[in-house]
Amino acid sequence: MNIEAIYHHPYGAYAYVNGPDTLRVRLRTSARDSVQCFARWNDRCSSPDCQERVTPMTWLASDGLFHYWEAELHEPYRRLRYAFQIRDASEEVWYTEDGYSHTPSQGGWLSGFFNWPYLYQSQRIQVPGWVRDAVFYEIFPERFANGDSSNDHPAVKEWSGKPEWFNFWGGDLAGIQQHLSYLQSLGVNALWLTPIFASPSNHKYDITDYTKIDPYFGSEDSFRKLLEDCHARGMRVILDAVYNHCSTDFFAWQDVVANGETSRYSEWFHVLDMPPDWRKRNYRMFDHHGHMPKLNTYHPEVQRYLIDAAAKWTRMGVDGWRLDVAGEVDPSLWRAFRRELRAINPDIYIVGEVEHEAARWTLGDMFDGVQHYPLYRAALGYFAAGADTPTFGTGSSEPWDTTTFDRRLGQIRSWYPTPVLSALLAPLSTHDTPRFLTMCGGDTRKLRLAVTFLLTYCGTPMIYYGDEVGMVGGPDPDCRRPMLWDPAQQDQELLAYYRHVIALRHKHAALRTDGVWTCLAQNEPNIYAYLRGELPMGNTPPSSDVALIVLNNSPTSQQIDVPLQATGRSPHALQSCWPDGTLLHDDLAGQVYTVTHGKVTVRLAAYEGAIITSRIEQ
């Protein structure tokens, strides 16, 4: 046994409150070891000779180097001490905060057991229940639809063509409202609107007034009507909070420019020497953009202004906030932001823009989730990359094999507490990235396969406006072209496919859970198969409401034998869901399969996927 690989710490993703009397703990072991893992625990105030309770740990993920295991510890007294027991064919290891031992540890109050002094509900990671059922749609309002020409920018362009940095096309809130029936027919039930507040730009990420709707988009009344219409249709709406920086037209910055050190707002920013001068770069800013001075988000007056602005829109009925450049904002602001907005709306969804591993923000005191750019990069590598694929600075064009893809997904799952996995906002394209179809070299088969993955994997899927009709575009600003509304210009087959797969996600609860088990990760050709369903604890088998996803990520048709055995689960545990003779249905192609000798034989065309369930439609 490779004991140097065994690891746990009693905080973060490795230990977190998951119920009134429940602590969920995680353990890491070597991926080279075939082991059984057990958690042993009891009341930390029990006598040393008190018998510990024991529960087998459940496999969670593997990244090729390590396996990750979880267990739930239920303690009615809400105070715990716990240790781990790891067993292979030749030895048994006990693991506590004192390290490793080959003899059982004693559990006195000064023992080396890991401890959780008390389970407080304020420590619990609580994600709004509606999020796991959501399919998001990102709208860049200036380019979605022009519903009211009376509020157009003076330099508005005709609704066609490729954008440049400073173009205006006249998209507005009325345009969004006029197309809600289209969005409803697509199957999305949550909208993310990029910034809609007063700003001189087309993107509105340089805000001049956080309390007012941009007049080129509409009015406060038009936003209220849009919000009410969305809610009447069962659709949620989240807005974009740009708190890292503002516009140089923001009132406080204008005062600093005018009055220098004597300005009452001089500490609202990071000015290195007065007066601020963008040519000297003597103040901190977003990226290297002088027209976006960075706010001092540690300052209490700045926090008060920004939270009060968000509270206004939250009271109006906004369902959540996407937080721009969230990793560069002072964490104390995000803690206060969450506390105050949750007091207004306990179901508000808070998701941060962090492009990398972001567990530190998702431990229950700041964000529910983050934008899932690591998953986006993995999808690019597996589904889109190739010799003819442009990179646009997103990474290597070298394609990933299935083993690399599967291990990367396992690594990502190991970063976060399990409840957070369903709150990670997962895109294939955004307003900051090239269109995924462009990254696929225009091959809609690859896009369809990636969409099948996105809508069947754990996380909250998000569609960028126009991807569903085959829009293309390189890096910003090319990825922000006006929406294609002419049916003759839309890819109708692709649109129908999006509608079908979204409907299947809504239909099958298994596709909206946290549980993922790899059944097959094959290279040359690239075949990936995974089982989806509720993640059970201990030896409990998965629910019968499971779904098998099979992806043929190769340029030729394949006949695939998929074993109903998954990483970290015994064959018996999975085959008990679908015993031999079970009839299965591919909800994408309509094929019917039969489980034989613990396997399902699936036939797929090039770049085709299958969503297989045991529900045969009559």
Which residues are catalytically annotated? 324, 353
For residue 190, give the 3-state DSSP assignment. Answer: strand
* Structure token pair of residue 462: 């998000």
Angle at 108 between CA 104 and CA 113, to 5 degrees: 60
- For residue 51, give the amino acid letter: Q
The sign of the CA dihedral 315, 320, 322, 326 is positive
For tokens 């094929």, name the residue. 591
Give the Cα separation of 104 and 85 in Å (integer): 9
Beta-sheet pairing, 53-56 with 592-594: unpaired
Q: Three-class SS string for 438-495?
A: HHCCCCHHHHHHHHHHHCCCCCEEEEECCHHHCCCCCCCCHHHCCCCCCCCCCCHHHH
- Region of 575 (left: φ > 0; alpha: ψ -120 to 50; beta: rest) is alpha
Torsion of CA 466, 469, 472, 478, to 10 degrees: -20
Residue 391: Cβ-neighbour burial (10 angstroms; 0-12, 13-18, 19+): middle
Give the Cα separation of 295 and 265 in Å (integer): 11
Give the Cα separation of 498 and 486 in Å (integer): 18
Angle at 457 between CA 452 and CA 460, to 5 degrees: 100
CA-nearest of 274, 5, 238 to 130 is 238
Beta-sheet pairing, 80-87 with 92-96: antiparallel
